Amino acid sequence: MLNLARVLVVEDEPFIALALALAIEDAGGVVVGPAGSVREALALLQSTPVTAAILDANLPDGDISPILEILVDRDTPLIVQSGVGLPAGFPPRIPAIVVRIKPYDAAKLVMEIECLIPKR
CATH of the domain at 70: 3.40.50.2300
Distance CA 26, CA 107 (A): 9
Q: Per the domain annotation, does 28 fall within a domain? A: yes
Q: Is residue 1 part of a domain?
A: no
Q: Residue 48: give the domain boundaries.
A: 6-116
Whether residue 106 is contained in a domain is answered as yes
- pLDDT of res. 84: 74
Domains contained in the chain, number: 1
CA–CA distance, 71 with 51 (Å, rounded to integer): 10
Q: Which residues pair with 74 in a beta bridge?
A: none
Contacts of residue 60, defined as CB under 8 A and 6 or more positions apart, other chains included, come to: 12, 36, 37
pLDDT per residue of the chain (120 residues) written in tens, 0 to 9: 999 999 999 999 999 999 999 999 999 999 999 999 999 999 999 999 999 999 999 899 988 889 988 998 999 999 999 887 666 666 555 667 788 988 899 999 999 999 999 875
Asked if 51 contacts 3 with a C-beta cutoff of 8 angstroms, the reply is no
